[in-house]
């Protein structure tokens, strides 16, 4: 017996495996902007895979510090790459990230943005080394202007 359906999506099903994965934080305030960036700048349509945890790529920096978190993330990313034949990894960090702020993942010498950018660079270097056949891109999303504030992306 099948359960009664309560909703039917109007979005056509596309069985093709996406070749791009976007790695970002879960913070929903940035989601629409990241999706727009994905479509209009990265040209990777909304069909791109999306791997999101609080703090984005931060677990991939924890190889030595918290290997459990590192391995959780790494195993899932590797499994996705294997299943989908991923050719491109796009990691996006964002301004005012609660994960970084609450865990004070920055020192008095390094501000929050500097720490996130350093993490993006560190993870990208490691991914390029371990997955040489995959293109790795990194970006930082932040607010610019006032009334209204706009979300802008810069390459890292």
Query: What distance, in Å, lies between the first and last C-alpha atoms of the chain?
Result: 52
In the complex, the smallest distance separating the C-beta of residue 142 from Zn ion, rounded to whole angstroms, is: 12
Name which position in 21, 22, 23, 25 contacts Zn ion (CB under 5 A).
25
93 binds Zn ion (CB under 5 A): no
In the complex, the smallest distance separating the C-beta of residue 97 from Zn ion, rounded to whole angstroms, is: 3
Q: Which stretch binds Zn ion (CB under 5 A): 9-17, 34-42, 58-66, 90-98?
A: 90-98
**Which string of x and - marks every residue 31-70 that binds Zn ion (by CB under 5 A)?**
----------------------------------------
Encoding tokens for residue 6?
A: 């309560």
- List of residues 6+ apart from 78 with CB closer than 8 A: none
97 binds Zn ion (CB under 5 A): yes
* 3-class DSSP assignment, residue 108: coil
In the complex, the smallest distance separating the C-beta of residue 98 from Zn ion, rounded to whole angstroms, is: 6
Q: Which stretch binds Zn ion (CB under 5 A): 14-22, 75-83, 95-103, 106-114?
A: 95-103
In the complex, the smallest distance separating the C-beta of residue 9 from Zn ion, rounded to whole angstroms, is: 28
Phi-psi region of 77 (alpha: psi -120 to 50; beta: other; left: phi over 0): alpha
27 binds Zn ion (CB under 5 A): yes
48 vs 93, which CB is nearer to Zn ion?
93
Is the separation of the CB atoms in 85 and 19 below 8 Å?
Answer: yes
Q: How far is CA 144 from the centre of its chain?
A: 21
Using alpha carbons, select from 89, 104, 95, 93 the residue that is nearest to residue 57. 93
Q: What are phi and psi of 133, to 5 degrees?
A: -85, -5
> Which parts of this chain interact with Zn ion (CB under 5 A)?
25, 27, 97
């Amino acid at each position: 017996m099948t359960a009664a359906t309560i909703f039917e999506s109007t979005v056509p099903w596309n069985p093709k495996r996406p070749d791009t994965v976007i790695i970002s934080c879960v913070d929903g305030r940035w989601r629409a902007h990241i999706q727009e960036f994905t479509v209009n700048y990265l040209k990777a349509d909304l069909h791109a895979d999306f791997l999101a945890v609080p703090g984005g790529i931060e677990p991939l920096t924890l190889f030595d510090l918290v290997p459990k978190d590192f391995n959780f993330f790494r195993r899932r990313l590797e499994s996705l790459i294997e299943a989908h034949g991923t050719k491109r990894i796009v990691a996006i960090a964002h301004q005012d990230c609660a994960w970084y702020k609450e865990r004070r993942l920055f020192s008095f010498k390094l501000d929050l943005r500097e720490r996130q950018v350093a993490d993006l660079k560190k993870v990208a270097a490691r991914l390029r080394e371990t997955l040489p056949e995959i293109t790795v891109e990194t970006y930082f999303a932040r607010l610019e202007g006032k009334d209204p504030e706009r979300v802008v992306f810069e390459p890292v």
